[in-house]
Structure 1
Amino acid sequence: MRVAIADDEVDVVQFLKSIIEGMGHHSMTFADGAALSQALVRETFDLVIMDWSMPKKDGLATLVWMQSALQERPPVIMLTNRTAKRDISDALNAGADDYITKPEDPTVIAARINAVLRRNANSGSFDTKAVYGRYEFDRIGQTVTIDGTIITLTAKEFELADMFFRNRDRTLSRNYIMEAIWRTTAALATRTLDMHISRVRSKLDLKPENGFRIFTVFGYGYRLETTDRG
């Protein structure tokens, strides 16, 4: 999972970063709401954790902006020292998925993060086997079958295909994909990504008549789209 952290207090950012990375997730950090907003336009995140009182654009204004500006909004946890009931209700009504008051124990924060991620996970994301139309994924054996026929995929091709199907109908940025599959965003991985996507598209015969297609979102990344055929 990829988590954005937005807070102008360096010690809070490092505190959250240690929790998130200790849970096995990736993180990106931002010092203000404007920088976070710019990143949300060009990057994919599974979760945003942000403070209310940030420079340039505060947390509430960022929440309101996310609701109107983003077609695919990630879940948001507000982590702030504001404790008034009116503030909590305003944040939740503006679109926050959870509200945590500073300071809080790391184990509680980790549990709340897991709860939000579970609520927003696609159905079947963590099952050992999953069926999507004609496609059946065995995540233990790392195999894909189409109408009972096993398709030979490399380990990276399987990871990539599985990521797309778990995130079907969701646009994923190139950096999000490369970080999750290759653990890097280097230029070399960019060429590798294009090659692997081409192979997955071909091997799994991803086209509208089979129910799914992968298409390029110019300047952003890729999307596995469910079609009404297949």
Structure 2
Amino acid sequence: MRKHILILLLVLFVTASYAQDFRAGPLLGISFSQVDGDNYAGYNKVGLNMGAFVSRQISDKWDIQLDIAYIQKGSREAPDPDKGKYDDYKIALSYIQFPLVGRYHYKQFSAEGGISIGALLNSEEEIDGTPIGDIPSHEIVPFQDIEWATVFGLNYHFNDRLWLNVRWLYSINRVRIPYDGEIPVYNPKPHWLSRKPGQYNNNFVVTAYYSFNKLLQSGTGN
């Protein structure tokens, strides 16, 4: 896995280095996740978001950006007997994610929207510390290898090279199809509107970006 990440980052930086119109740099952040459709609520699964980006200015106010990042998603319900919560449940999902966004700048702020594709690297699911596969009464249903997600975000630019990003990502496709029946950790009913029954990643990500050169030639304050 680490080897694949390094290769992707190398390709990204080599591509950017041959074009002055492109900007590149590292990113590091925290992901707060839940899985809609697992009977639990709350962005309680905390994970890592790390990688690199490349962006290109297309006008004084607009630029486009592509990230290549390793991100951890999932779900977490910790027991809290004082509040009547006794379940100990965890889903841990790791992806290589490629968000592509368009961004509009206004003074020190910018808003963005786009789409992301993620390739599943690893998945784990546990109840009371025991993997689902080790519980005879529970059926294993695999997570999908590919996730498509919508991306919406806001940025605050400290200067031309450093900015803080807050993003909301939500799965377009199901990351796992329903089980063939009711089990305690899964609700096969549609989550909202006319979406198909299943589980969907729902996460907020807070990330710091650093550009090795200026993101906007005219400056973000114009």
Q: Pick the structure with more helix per residue.
A: 1
Instruction: State if a TM-score over 0.5 links the two structures.
Output: no
**Structure having greater relative contact order (Cα 8 Å, sep ≥ 6):** 2
TM-score of the superposed pair, with normalisation by structure 2: 0.22
TM-score of the superposed pair, with normalisation by structure 1: 0.21
